[in-house]
Amino acid sequence: MWKIVRREVRPDSTIEFTSSSVPNQWTDEFKRYFNQTYEKTGKLISSEKTMIDEFTRETVMLWDCVESMQEFMSDPQVWENIVKSNKDYNNFNKIKNDIIFAENVPDISDK
């Protein structure tokens, strides 16, 4: 499995974190595409967002392998519906967004 941890830090707690990475903000067409391409295939195992404190949010994504994560990041539909809108929003609101951990991790569910 491939684990990615992304940390977002906002300069002020009154600034909302981006919501374009939340499925209820997506079009029905993109929801279907995302579900069929990444969830139903088992490529994306899980994605969880956690507030660390009032300024910091972390997202942990587990992928079946690094190639699936790379496919996701280079997918034009993902770029348009998630990545670009997140980048634009974060830049405008001065929210720092960094990958703090990216590594192959053992899948203990097979043992």
Q: Where are the domains of the chain?
A: 2-110
For the segment 4-41, what is each residue's pLDDT rounded down to a tens digit? 999 999 999 999 888 755 555 678 899 899 999 999 99
Locus of tokens 């939340």: 22
For the segment 46-67, what is each residue's pLDDT rounded down to a tens digit? 999 999 999 999 999 999 999 9
Locus of tokens 């941890």: 5
Q: Write out the two tokens for 70.
A: 């790379």
Predicted TM-score of the model (pTM) = 0.83
Q: Write out the two tokens for 43.
A: 């490529």
Q: Write out the two tokens for 108.
A: 């203990």
pLDDT at position 61: 94
Q: Does domain 2-110 have CATH number 3.30.70.100?
A: yes
Biggest distance spanned by C-alpha atoms of the chain? 46
Locus of tokens 């929003």: 89
Residue range 76-83: mean pLDDT, rounded: 90
Q: How confident is the model at residue 94 (pLDDT cuts 50, 70, 90)?
A: very high
Please enumerate in sequence order all residues whose Cβ is within 8 A of that of 20, keeping only pairs 6 or more positions apart, or say none: 26, 81, 82, 85, 86, 89
